[in-house]
Amino acid sequence: MSNRVQTVTLDYVPRAAFLPFHNRSKRKTVIVAHRRAGKTYSVIQDLVARALNFQKKNPKTGQYFPKPVFAYVCPYRGQAKKVAWEYLVAFTENIPGIKKNETELWIEIPTVTGARARIFLAGADNPDNLRGQYFDGVVLDEYGDMKPEVYSTVLRPALADRKGWIVFMGTPKGKNDFYKRWQLALEKPNEYFSICLKASDSGILDEVEIEDMKSEMETEEWEQELECSFDAAFRGSFYGKAIQVAALQDKFRPFITRDCPYGYVVDEPVSLAMDLGRADAAVIWFWQVINGEVRFFDYWEQTGFDAEEVCDMLALKPYRYETVWLPHDAKHHTFVTKKSVIDTFMAHDLPARIAPDPDAGRRIMHGIDAVRKFLRLGHFAIDADRCKRGVEALKNYSRKFNRSTNTFGSDADHNEWSHGADAFRYAVLSISDDIGRSIERARDLAYRSANPNQVNTRRQTLDEALAARDRQLTARSSNLSRAYD
């Protein structure tokens, strides 16, 4: 092969907003961009340019690395072909000696060292197609729609031996893994190049067109799609709008005050509702009913805890439990222990019950509607600090999105946020029971205050205490039977 270097001129004039991206030197990049910003157009051109100019040497041998490989990855392979293949063909058609395979979606072009670089398109829906390869550069488009393991377990190791670079990009869709990657980029500017392009200041879209879109779009849709807000209640969210309204009504606030130094009322009983899963996260919402107001003052979420470990954790809390509400599958016996989750909780002397209206069939929508109504009309407050993760779960709990029809389905998407939202649904369906007992306690306290002479202050004898304990055990057995009903 001739060593003579040919000059290749790419027919591309980059947009000013993307010039810093093209001139970057860091291995990791995060691009948050509004719709129609031209991010796919820009990154494909960047891929071609970096492939043409690839001349990295192996530090062990001092020789140029042979056969550089680059990839552009979308959530789905068909999506990658639809949005990027024509760009890739157009940007490389005037390069001498190119090869292309539309069936397998790759193009090979010569580099400045005489090697041949391959650029191929792929989908994150088939990560096995990405395994067993090395990469010198990868672009992950719409990264928020991908499973995080595609990068962490498949692509990250493939970049290691040749110290390849990676680009995460997309438009916000709530606080998913793309949001976490954006936060990481802001925290580590020495490792990441990051850029956020909002329609209002990118200079890419016409101002008149921007104002027209703004007038025709829902507020949260505009903030998410054009202003790149991760905090906007995105389309498909079950509770996003209700959460925004509740926030304006000061429903989310810190509970620790001079009058309430612990964030909860020490003398009042505590109820909790949970969603349990050992492989998935176990989640618990804690609340009290104070003067008719439901106060969610604590939230707990961990992965890898079984029922015994959760009971041990609850025992360490300083709370006096009134009711422990469990999901309907808590009464199923396991093959290993021959015990159900509710058996375990009852054995630990915890007042466990099955949450009302378990989600059989389509009854989950009954619970979702109940939560919506509660968030709109309920007399409640949530500790903004201690329950921050739980509030994020409610905001990001959403319907499944069907990319083939570009619509949202009616079923909920099972992801990292669904456990917190499920536990809150169990809480809402159970709270009416707690409010009733709270009102009874308030009436009893008022009666005792008004009739102090009728309060029995005599201490129990030993026989009376034992008899009371027998009644307590009988009541627990009765509660267990009720829980299975």
User: Could you report the per-residue pLDDT of 335-380, keeping only the tens digit for each?
Assistant: 445 678 999 999 999 999 998 865 554 567 788 888 998 999 889 9
What is the CATH architecture assignment of 16-225?
A: 3-Layer(aba) Sandwich (3.40)
Look at 69-83, 267-281, 418-432, 445-459 and tell me which has the smallest mean pLDDT: 445-459
> For 464-478, what is the mean pLDDT?
59
Confidence band of 457 (pLDDT split at 50, 70, 90): very low
In the sheet where 137-141 sits, what is the strand order? Answer: 99-101, 106-110, 116-123, 69-74, 137-141, 165-170, 28-33, 192-197
> For 267-273, what is the mean pLDDT?
94
Q: Give tens-digit pLDDT for 211-225.
A: 999 998 877 788 889
Confidence band of 158 (pLDDT split at 50, 70, 90): very high
Q: Are strands 321-326 and 270-275 parallel, antiparallel or unpaired?
A: parallel
Tokens of 8: 């290749």
Q: Give tens-digit pLDDT for 13-49.
A: 888 999 999 999 999 999 999 999 999 999 999 999 9
What is the CATH architecture assignment of 240-484?
A: 2-Layer Sandwich (3.30)
- Could you check whether 16-225 and 240-484 share the same CATH topology? no
Please report, to the nearest 10 degrees, the dihedral formed by the alpha carbons of residues 471, 473, 475, 476 taken in order.
170
Confidence band of 454 (pLDDT split at 50, 70, 90): low
pLDDT at 100 over 80: yes
Q: Where are the domains of the chain?
A: 16-225, 240-484
pLDDT at residue 174, rounded to an integer: 78
Q: Rounded to whole angstroms, how far apart are CA atoms 320 and 323?
A: 10
Mean pLDDT across the chain? 85
pLDDT at residue 123, rounded to an integer: 94
CB atoms within 10 A of CB 389: 14
Q: Which pTM was predicted?
A: 0.65
